[in-house]
Chains A and B, each alone.
Chain A
């Protein structure tokens, strides 16, 4: 049986985790492209990179060692320190 907690708030908002606010546009953004290291994903990301650069964003490329585990914490730190947005691809 799952555990229940009582809501300490005014209950005016939904009590679940919400996404971060997004920026108004892509300009001034540094977009991290995180390759999960499954085959063919890099081609997909290459094309995204082309289009994002055309749209005026900066792009940084990252690759995790294996798709079977979450990205190592150092890689996550690096992305968080250097990027304002992130796209992770491509799981199948």
Chain B
């Protein structure tokens, strides 16, 4: 690759295909300058241009428009002008009559180095050494999709092959440098960089604009509080459930409405999937190894959705957890698959709360208390019942806790003919189904359907997992 350092003096970058460049070409013989031409090496014929055939010079000097006129002193760019502006060209060249026969100004054309069809390849060619990951060479007969299965990098579904071009394009989605360490990932306790997350995000099928959300979720699950190691190693069927808040969630096209927890939405599915691939590939957490889940659940492929903030009578989950309103954030929760709550007749909040409480009572086991948290996903038609009665988040949660105080006699081992339960000495106590902060409320779902959902958690507390909220940084 030729040196990309610009010579001192005046430098002009042109391409023959550009009418404005052809218009100013005769001027270039009128003052001393070095001319780089992007396409035709014989243009302009009046000077001896340097052919920037590989676009290395254009790329390294951020040429977006041709013609560009640059003044360079001692190897440093002092100033530049793009397109043809008679005033600017006269000022920079110092020639008062330059281009007197030309119009006062004329816009330039797009530089070849920013042509969308070329950009990925150029980035890979010139910035490829930014990537530190080991390269894996595909053998002659390798089908790249099969290879990725054979190497054990997938979650059972095909992944997008992570080429340098794709990873560099993904890295455009964040301002953070590729070598920045984001977290230490259990179970292998490996440092994960922005680059490694980007590789897994490519494999998951993310767009670059999703990357900051993936990074925030990885940060969140790698905290001691969330305890991803425990979440992974448990025999319970849980995995990270990611709830997204903030205007950015909508901007990247996440789904908070109909079928929000189902299939079809690329942002929802690939963000959740990327996080799981990081756990698998970087952290080393895989089923049959550290992952001991008895049954697992389909959400362990991906479980990520946005909260429906518009029209929520409960505010947002993120603001309830201390994030400033209007800030993008993710909340991670160690959760199983969702269960449906049906109530198609309740017209008043008490009646609906009674349904919720009765269903919540059975989380994991009707006799199990205090050990597990829950996300209650309130669908919009149910939310309206509460909204019309003026119940906000705090009210709803308080009303649910009040309905979930259970006498120990119902809960002790053997009660109801069920061996499971609390020890005998609690027979006279009154115990809450959930710990005081154990119910998280999220507003999401389609506008039609008198349903809500509950997502049961893993063990809470210090030895278990606690929900964690992290802001999304660009």
Contacts and interface: CB of A to CB of B under 8 A. Distances in A.
Interface stretch (B156-164, B251-259, B351-359, B402-410): B156-164
B134 A11 contact: yes
Contacts of B136: 4-7, 15-16
B284 to A, nearest CB: 6
A28 B6 CA distance: 74
Interface string A1-29: 01111111111100111000000000000
B389 interface: no
Nearest to B166: A6
B222 to A, nearest CB: 13
A8 B196 contact: yes
A10 B137 contact: no
B277 interface: yes
Contact of A2 (B140, B161, B277): B140
B138 A11 contact: no
| 10 closest Cβ pairs, A-B complex | A10-B190, A7-B134, A6-B133, A8-B281, A8-B199, A4-B135, A9-B281, A3-B138, A5-B136, A6-B162
B190 A7 contact: no
B462 interface: no
Interface in B139-161: 139-140, 144, 147-148, 150-151, 153, 161
Contacts of A9: 153, 281-282, 284
A6 B164 contact: yes
A2 B277 CA distance: 25
B66 interface: no
Contacts of A17: 150-151
Nearest to A3: B138
Interface of A: 2-12, 15-17
Contact of A12 (B133, B139, B190, B196): B190
A5 B135 contact: yes
Interface of B: 131, 133-140, 144, 147-148, 150-151, 153, 161-164, 167, 185, 188, 190, 196, 199-200, 203, 277, 281-284
Contacts of B167: 6
Contacts of A10: 185, 188, 190, 281-284
Given A3-B144, A3-B163, A5-B161, A11 B139 contact: no
Given A4-B163, A8-B277, A8-B282, A15 B134 contact: yes
Given A4-B164, A5-B144, A5-B148, 8 more contacts: A2-B137, A3-B137, A3-B161, A9-B153, A9-B282, A10-B185, A11-B133, A17-B150
A7 B199 contact: yes
B26 to A, nearest CB: 43
A61 to B, nearest CB: 29
11 contacts: A5-B135, A6-B134, A6-B167, A6-B199, A7-B133, A7-B134, A8-B133, A9-B153, A15-B136, A17-B150, A17-B151
A16 B277 CA distance: 18
Contacts of B200: 8
Interface centre among B148, B151, B190, B281 (most CB of A within 10 A): B151
B130 to A, nearest CB: 12
A56 to B, nearest CB: 28
Nearest to B277: A8
B430 to A, nearest CB: 49
A12 B192 CA distance: 13
Contacts of B199: 6-8
A51 to B, nearest CB: 32
A4 B137 CA distance: 5
Contacts of A7: 133-136, 199
A41 B210 CA distance: 58
A2 B190 CA distance: 30
B282 A16 contact: no
A11 to B, nearest CB: 5
A16 B162 CA distance: 16
A9 B133 CA distance: 9
A45 to B, nearest CB: 28
A5 B131 CA distance: 11
Contacts of B139: 2
B151 A6 contact: no
Contacts of B281: 8-10
B138 A5 contact: yes
Contacts of B140: 2
Contact of B162 (A2, A5, A11, A12): A5
A81 to B, nearest CB: 20
Contacts of A6: 131, 133-136, 162-164, 167, 199
A13 to B, nearest CB: 9
A7 B162 CA distance: 8
Nearest to A7: B134
Contacts of B203: 8
A12 B281 CA distance: 10
Nearest to A17: B150
A12 B188 contact: yes
A19 to B, nearest CB: 12
Contacts of B284: 9-10, 12
